[in-house]
Amino acid sequence: MDINDDALNDDAVSPAARAAGHQPALTGCPWHDVNEMLQAAGLRPTRQRMALGWLLFGKGARHLTAEMLYEEATIAKVPVSLATVYNTLNQLTDAGLLRQVSVDGTKTYFDTNVSAHHHFYLENNHELVDIPDPHLVLQKMPEVPEGYEISRVDMVVRLRKKR
C-alpha cells in the first residue's frame, strides 16, 4: 500500500464521514454545541468542561494527549490544572464522547472520532492518525473463551520512516 503524508492527514474527514457520526455534530455555536453534548452525555457543563470541550471538539476529528490539551488550554488562557485535564478526558471517555487509544504503556491519546476504526502511529512524529477504512480488513477473529464476548477491537499499526 502506498501511503503519502496527505493520506495520513487526520484533518481530511469528508463531510459524508462526519454526517455518518464519525465525530460529534457541531452546529457552529461552540458553547451551545459543547453544552448540548455534555448534557446529553449526563455530564454537568461546568466552566472547565465547557472550555476543554470547546478546545477538543471545535477543531474537528483529531487525536490529543492530555499534555497536548493542557498546552492548548494554557495558550487559550483557560485556567485548568493538568490533573483537571486528565479527569475531564476520562469523564468524556466514560460518557462516550471520546475514545481512548493507548499507543504503549506511557502514551495515551484521546480521539474525538468515537466510531469503530483503527490507527497508524507515526513513531518519528509521535502522531496518531486514522487508518482509512478500505485499507484494513480483519478476515477472522480469534476464538473467544467461554463466557466472554468481544466488546471492541483496537488496532494500532506503528510506522517509522525508512532509513
pLDDT over 70 at 135, yes or no: no
Share of the chain above pLDDT 90, in %: 53
Domains delineated in the chain: 15-159 (1.10.10.10)
pTM as predicted: 0.75
All three cell numbers of 33: 454545541
- Phi and psi for 133 in degrees, rounded to 5? -45, -45
Question: 90-102: per-residue pLDDT in tens?
Answer: 999 999 999 999 9
Mean pLDDT of 144-161: 89
Q: Which three cell numbers stand for residue 102?
A: 493507548
Nearest of 155, 64, 151 to residue 107 by alpha carbon: 64
- Poorest-pLDDT segment among 7-11, 37-41, 96-100: 7-11
- pLDDT of 113 > 80? The answer is yes
The answer to whether residues 128 and 103 touch, using CB atoms and an 8 Å cutoff, is yes
Looking up cell 469523564, which residue turns up? 91
CA 127 – CA 65 distance, rounded (Å): 10
Find, among 116, 91, 87, the residue nearest to 101 by Cα.
Answer: 116
- pLDDT greater than 90 at residue 117: no
Q: How many CB atoms lie within 10 A of CB 51?
A: 19
φ, ψ dihedrals at 117, nearest 5°: -165, 170
Residue 2 reports pLDDT greater than 70: no
For the chain, counts of helices (H) and of strands (E)? 5, 6
